[in-house]
């Protein structure tokens, strides 16, 4: 069925362009890097890209419904701050208590050791997911446009984050940091599997960066099934023609709630990883804003239409990769830091234009507006 393949390729033109573009720039990066193609460079790059990739995936879901989520960076930052308390790995456990408007709230004690660490991570992911659900509820039940609803909730999340971490600080368990931000070989030796990573069958895989594997896992285990679920299909339908989706008897409100909740989960993953990577929590407002804006850029570069209905979170991962690789180049070519935003902007324009190239091939100009 060669024609079916051609149809699929044409329908995923944006994603295909993103992948090709990434391959080209990343190959160029490695070729011009003195230590190109080494595991160390790959590990460093995958650490730097993971959080943005997760935030971009979080952004993709509302964009597919023709909305924008301005809270993704803030939500990620809030989870990052929570993680710096809940994932310290302190052997004695962590008492869960906080002061809020003069009231001391206590929720018991998080156990120490590995179970406590995993529980803390789950709680952090849960906080992200709940944040997403809150966004969804404001949008669905408040009948408020996503861009405004999330502008407000984003401010709330940043507020919570600042309350938690007025100054950068906190700590993440060292072993966890080491295990998740290095290669698979280091992961295996830290968690003591595969003969501490010395198993002979494992050796050819030991160079692969762990964040990369996590990213692929989240995409495969969460996004791919979601896309094939009824809720996932409904998201695309809402972005494409909400009226037709309603008339087809689809559960629109439920799908919107699920979409924002899923976005919150992705943002939570980003926040947890950022905490692990930096081994601290930081309620950095400019950084949160930059993540939000870059997530939108990544979504667009990855071939998702801001008008909704077409695209995928996989494309956004590639969009995030492209954005990050662009900034990697600055390190090699030693461009003055003050000029970097200027070059970033120019390159971003070029990258977005490449994905808009299909417009040139359209001979019926009426199709430009569909």
Partner 1 sequence: MAEATATDFLVLSGIAKRYGGVRALENVDFACRRGQIHAVLGENGAGKSTLIKIVAGVVQPDAGTITLDGVLHQFRRPAEATAAGVVCVFQELSLIPDLSVADNISISAPPKRFGLIDTRAQTRRAEALLAEVGCEDVNPLLRVHDLPLSRRQMVEIAKAIGQRPKLLILDEATSALTSADVERVYSLLARLKAANVAILYISHRMHEVDALADRASVFRNGRHIETFDEGTRTTSQIVQLMIGRDISTQYPPKPDRQRPPAALKIENLVWENRLQSISLDVGAGEIVGLGGLDGQGQKMLLLALFGVLRGLTGTITVNGRVVRPGSPSDAKAHGTGIALVPEDRKIEGLMLPMSITDNLAIASLKNLLSGPFVDAGKERRAVEAGIERLRIKVGDRADAVSTLSGGNQQKVVIAKWLMTGPRIILLNDPTRGIDVGTKQELYRLMRELADQGAAILFYSTDYDELIGCCDRVAIMYDGRIVRELTGADLNETNIISASLNIATSEPAAAPHVATAHG
**166 or 243: whose CB is closer to partner 1?**
243
Q: Which residues contact 249 (CB under 8 A, 6 or more apart)?
A: none
Q: How far is the CB of 68 from partner 1 (least distance, A)?
A: 18
Between 11 and 38, whose beta carbon lies closer to partner 1? 11
Backbone angles phi, psi at 206, to 5 degrees: -65, -20
For residue 24, which of 263, 266, 257, 350 has the smallest C-alpha distance? Answer: 350
| Residue placing its CB nearer to partner 1 in the complex, 103 or 366 | 366
* Interface residue list for partner 1 (CB under 8 A): 3-4, 7-8, 11, 225, 228-230, 233, 236-237, 239-241, 243-251, 308-310, 362-366, 370
CB 308 to partner 1: min, Å: 8
CA distance 219 to 266: 10
Q: Which one, 9 or 98, has the nearer CB to partner 1?
A: 9
User: Which one, of 293, 313, 294, lies nearest residue 303 by Cα?
Assistant: 313
* Cβ-based neighbour number of residue 109 at 10 Å: 13
Q: Measured from the CB of residue 335, what is the shortest distance to partner 1 in angstroms?
A: 40
* HEC sequence for 222-289: HHHHHHCCHHHHHHHHHHHHHHHHHHCCCCHHHHHHHHHHHHHHHHHHHHHHHHHHHCCECCCHHHHH
Residue 228: CB minimum distance to partner 1, A: 4
Nearest to 82 by CA among 286, 287, 288, 283: 283
What is the C-alpha R_g of the chain? Answer: 21
Residue 98 Cβ vs partner 1, minimum distance, rounded to whole Å: 38
The whole-angstrom separation of Cα 187 and Cα 166 is 32
Measured from the CB of residue 367, what is the shortest distance to partner 1 in angstroms?
9
Q: How far is the CB of 67 from partner 1 (least distance, A)?
A: 15
Spatial neighbors of 167 by CB under 8 A, at least 6 apart, are: none
Least distance (Å) from partner 1 to the CB of residue 38?
A: 39
Which residues are CB-neighbours of 185 under 8 A, at least 6 positions away?
A: 197, 202, 206, 207
Residues 6+ apart with CB under 8 A from 320: 49, 52, 53, 55, 56, 294, 295, 298, 302
Nearer to partner 1, 120 or 309 (CB): 309
Choose between 185 and 309: whose C-beta lies nearer to partner 1: 309
Q: How far is the CB of 301 from partner 1 (least distance, A)?
A: 19
Q: Shortest distance, CB of residue 213 to partner 1, whole angstroms?
A: 23
Nearer to partner 1, 91 or 366 (CB): 366
- Considering the complex, state which of residue 179 and residue 231 has its C-beta at the smaller distance from partner 1: 231
Rounded Cα distance, 103 and 163, in Å: 13
Residue 110 is classified by DSSP as E
* Bridge partners for 281 per DSSP: 169
Minimum CB distance to partner 1 smaller for 182 or for 310: 310
Closer Cβ to partner 1, 7 or 342, answer by number: 7
CA–CA distance, 231 with 202 (Å, rounded to integer)? 38
3-state secondary structure of 189: helix
């Amino acid at each position: 069925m060669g024609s079916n393949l051609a149809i699929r390729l044409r329908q995923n033109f944006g994603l295909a362009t993103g992948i090709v573009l990434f391959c080209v720039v990343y190959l160029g990066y490695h070729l011009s890097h003195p230590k190109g193609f080494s595991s160390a460079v790959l590990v460093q790059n995958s650490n730097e890209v993971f959080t943005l990739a997760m935030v971009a995936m979080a952004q993709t879901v509302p964009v597919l419904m023709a909305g924008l989520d301005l809270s993704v960076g803030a939500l990620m930052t809030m989870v990052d701050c929570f993680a710096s308390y809940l994932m310290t790995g302190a052997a004695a456990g962590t008492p869960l208590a906080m002061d809020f408007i003069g009231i001391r709230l206590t929720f018991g004690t998080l156990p120490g050791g590995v179970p406590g660490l995993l529980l803390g991570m789950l709680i952090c992911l849960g906080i992200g997911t709940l944040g997403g659900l809150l966004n969804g509820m404001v949008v669905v039940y408040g009948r408020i446009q996503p861009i405004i609803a999330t502008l407000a909730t984003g401010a709330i999340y940043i507020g919570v984050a600042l309350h938690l971490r007025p100054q950068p600080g906190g700590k993440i368990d060292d072993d966890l940091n080491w295990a998740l931000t290095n290669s698979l070989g280091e992961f295996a030796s830290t968690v003591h599997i595969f003969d501490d990573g010395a198993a002979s069958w494992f050796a050819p895989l030991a160079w692969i960066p762990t964040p990369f594997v996590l990213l692929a896992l989240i995409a495969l285990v969460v996004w791919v099934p979601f896309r094939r679920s009824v809720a996932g299909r409904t998201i695309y339908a809402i972005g494409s023609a909400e009226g037709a989706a309603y008339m087809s008897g689809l559960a629109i409100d439920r799908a919107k709630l699920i979409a924002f909740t899923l976005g919150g989960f992705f943002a939570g993953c980003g926040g947890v990883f950022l905490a692990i990577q930096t081994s601290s929590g930081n309620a950095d407002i400019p950084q949160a804003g930059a993540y939000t804006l870059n997530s939108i850029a990544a979504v667009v570069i990855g071939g998702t239409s801001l008008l909704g209905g077409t695209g995928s979170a996989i494309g956004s991962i590639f969009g995030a990769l492209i954005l990050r690789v662009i900034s990697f180049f600055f390190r090699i070519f030693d461009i003055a830091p003050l000029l970097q935003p200027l070059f970033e902007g120019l390159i971003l324009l070029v990258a977005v234009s490449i994905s808009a190239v299909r417009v040139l091939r359209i001979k019926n100009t009426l199709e430009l507006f569909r």
